[in-house]
Structures are given as C-alpha cells and as structure tokens.
C-alpha cells in the first residue's frame, strides 16, 4: 500500500507492548494512540539507564552525577527544540503536560502586566477544543471580566470561518485553538487564523497535542505573521512518557509574561523584601522538574526524528484513508467529522453505530483484542454540536497496520451481529 512506512514491521518490533496477547488469546490491536501512544524500547531504556546510573537533581548538585543529570535534562530541551524547529532552545519550557502549559498561559494573562486581560477584552477559541483549552479560558475570563467567544463548526466538522471578521476584532487579545482535533481529526488552518489575529495585535495560542505526533512542525521556518506566539503539546502522545509537557513561546512573549509558580530555580535573588526572577526558560520551571520524564521525551522525539515526520504523516494519511473506507462500509455507522483523508484530516476518527452505545462497542471490541476509546474524549461541546453525548474513537499511529484496521472492521461487524442491529 503506497504511503505506508516501508520499515513498518521493523518499527513495530521497537514497541514491546505490541507483542502482547490479551485474555482469550487475542493479539493486541492498539487503536487508541490519540489518547496515549505506545513507547519504543529506546525510550524505556533511556529512562531506566538514567535512574540506574545518573540519577541526581538538576542545576543544584555540585558533583558528577548532578552534572550528568543536568546535561541530560538540558540535552532533552535541545532535542525538543529541534523537533519543533524552535528559533531558540531557551524558548522551550517543560511542564507536566499540555493542560498545565495551557493553564500557565491563561493564568499569567490574568496577572498584572502588559498582556493582562481586562474587562472589554475578548478571548476567541473554538467549539472543537479539548476541555484543557476551554476551561482555563473560562476561568481567566471570569476572573478578569474579559469575554470568551468561539468559532462554531460546520456539519462536516470543520471550523466555520464565515464570521471570522466578527469574531476576531480590535477587542480580541487572544486566539487559542487546536491544530488537530482530538475528536474529529480536523486539521485547522492555523496560518490563516494566526495572520488574522496578528493583524489586530492578538496573541495566538495553539494546542499541538494531536499535531506534534503526526505533522512536521518548523516554527522557525514559518512566516512570522502566520506563526503561533505560544504552542503546547504533551509528551505521552509522541511516544514519550506521561508527566511531561512542553510550552514553546516566542522570547518576546515569554519575557513579557510574569512567573506562574514561585519556588526554587525560577529566581535570580530572594530577600524578605522581594525577589527577582531568572530568565527563560527557568522563570517558568519552579521546583524540581520532571527530570527523567524530560529525558525520556528527548529520546522519544529523537526516535521520531530518525523515522521522519514527513514519512509518519504519509503513513497516518494512508492508514486513515483505509480506515475511513472500511468504517463507512459498515451499515449504520456514522463518522463524525471529515470523511475524506485527502483533505484537512488527522488520524483520530470518532463514530456512532446505530443502536449500540459507545461503551458497549468498546467493551465488545476489547473482548476481541481491539483497544479503542469510548466517551466524550474531553470534547463535550464538539459532541453537543453533533447532537450526541459520546462516541467511539479509533486512532492510529506510526505502528498501525492495515491488518489492524481489518481487525477493527471485522470486530465492528461482529458487534452489530452481537447486538442484533441493522
């Protein structure tokens, strides 16, 4: 099949969990990578090696282990900066996940400073966001008296840009949106929206949690008018560990934002009368950071870099196209979101099967070794837009094979017969 990674079987051997056999002797078919990706052996080994041989706190211990740990931690920052094409490595800030990164941005915009939100200001988001890019902005607009507005969705699951001139105005201070929807798979026109937002002086915040695993990102290579001011993603979706996230921001913006948390390593000096703060990135990394998780993330993005994000993207599009074709052959099944993989679409596919609850679908599929997600996927407003409370979601990644999609389709046919629908 054209577009698949040519070394797919070799890549699958890098992921030990994919060799598992589940209860009943069924081989694991893992189709929940939008939730969390599986981890290659190199990430596991890198983290174990650090804990076994180099464990020490960073930037504090004046001994060999401390120097080794600091070098590995800051080396991970270099790898992440290279992965997203950051203009400067110090613009990369480690957080515990994308949610914390988004909260950092939202909350610091409520603190006194040149970017502080005030009554009359507006924050614009979209109806397809993960809750992590809705709730922090609800909290900050309630606290500051600013107003939250949003783009709605078309019936095809795309952003409705017909009223963009009414939504993004001189009152707009922040436009915050996902690059790729975790529910619909929609790929949003970041460049177009950023250009419009920057024209009115607004900050652009992009949630790249679903984009970073499958789209090549080159921030330095982007037209400055079309580049986000701040971008976040999480480690566990890019074959890295949990407990580690990334906030990238332009130096100008990060230096203008006040600290988010106070504590060790984010200070320059401290006295009882007051404190001064370290420069970026350390200004936003208070306390002992997730050291081994950051090092694991560095190994993860380096692994993806060796394979190549362009190749991974082609593989995702090929598998997604094959999955859409297979799913739409099942009577009573409705895909939520774009149905054409050749258009603006990522690898997550949410669907309904008439007459069967998503939780029942997931449970029957699990009995046949197929792991998918069922629920609202932390995207309740997007589900409400389509008049449903929940859906079943399959999501592929670089290790997914056409045979696994065949297993999904077969398991869904079995589900229909099991519940005697259609």
Q: How many CB atoms lie within 10 A of CB 377?
A: 24
Q: Is 378 a catalytic residue?
A: yes
Sign of CA dihedral 221, 167, 339, 394: positive
Tell me the C-alpha distance between 326 and 318, whole Å.
12
Please pick, among 378, 386, 413, 414, the residue that the annotation labels catalytic: 378
Q: Which two tokens stand for residue 375?
A: 């629920």
H or E segment and range at residue 295 = helix 291-307
Strand ranges in 302-378 using DSSP code E only, listed in sequence order:
333-336, 348-353, 370-371, 373-375
Cβ burial 249-286 (10 Å sphere, 16+ → b, else e) = bbeebbeebbbbeeeebbbeeeeeeeeebbebbbbbbb
Sign of CA dihedral 362, 365, 366, 372: negative
Tell me the C-alpha distance between 170 and 73, whole Å.
41
Cis ω for the linkage preceding 284 (within 30 of 0): no
Q: Any idea which residues carry the catalytic annotation?
A: 378
């Amino acid at each position: 099949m054209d577009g698949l990674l040519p070394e797919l079987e070799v890549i699958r051997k890098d992921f030990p969990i994919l060799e598992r056999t589940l209860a009943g002797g069924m081989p694991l078919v893992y189709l929940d990578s939008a939730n969390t990706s599986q981890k290659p052996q190199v990430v596991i080994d890198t983290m174990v090696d650090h804990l076994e041989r180099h464990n020490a706190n960073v930037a504090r211990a004046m001994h060999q282990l401390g120097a080794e740990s600091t070098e590995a931690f800051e080396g991970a920052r270099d790898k992440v900066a290279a992965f997203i094409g950051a203009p400067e490595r110090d613009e990369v800030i480690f957080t515990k996940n994308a949610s914390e990164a988004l909260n950092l941005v939202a909350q610091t915009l409520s603190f006194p400073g040149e970017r502080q939100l005030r009554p009359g200001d507006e924050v614009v988001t979209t109806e397809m966001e993960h809750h992590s890019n809705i709730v922090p902005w609800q909290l900050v607009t309630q606290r500051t008296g600013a107003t939250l507005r949003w783009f709605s969705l078309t019936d095809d699951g795309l952003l409705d840009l017909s009223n963009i001139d009414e939504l993004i105005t001189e009152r707009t201070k922040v436009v915050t949106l996902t690059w790729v929807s975790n529910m619909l798979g929609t790929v949003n026109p970041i460049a177009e929206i950023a250009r419009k937002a920057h024209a009115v002086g607004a900050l652009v915040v992009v949630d790249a949690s679903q984009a970073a695993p499958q789209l090549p990102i080159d921030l330095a290579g982007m037209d400055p008018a079309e580049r986000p001011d701040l971008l976040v993603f999480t480690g566990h979706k890019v074959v890295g560990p949990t407990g580690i996230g990334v906030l990238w921001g332009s130096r100008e913006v990060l230096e203008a934002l006040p600290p988010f948390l106070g504590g060790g390593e984010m200070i320059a000096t401290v006295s009882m009368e007051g404190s001064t703060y370290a420069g970026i990135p350390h200004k936003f990394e208070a306390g002992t950071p997730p050291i081994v998780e950051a090092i694991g993330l560095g190994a993860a993005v380096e692994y993806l870099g060796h394979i190549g994000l362009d190749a991974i993207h082609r593989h995702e599009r090929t598998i997604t196209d094959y999955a859409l074709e297979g799913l739409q052959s099942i009577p009573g099944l409705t895909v939520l979101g774009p149905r054409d993989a050749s258009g603006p679409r990522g690898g997550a596919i949410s669907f309904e099967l008439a007459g069967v609850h998503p939780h029942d679908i997931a449970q029957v599929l699990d009995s046949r070794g197929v792991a998918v997600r069922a629920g609202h996927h932390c995207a309740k407003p997007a589900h409400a837009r389509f008049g449903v409370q929940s859906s079943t979601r399959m999501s592929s990644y670089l290790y997914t094979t056409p045979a696994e999609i065949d297993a999904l389709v077969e398991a869904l046919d079995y589900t229909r017969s099991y519940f005697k629908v259609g």
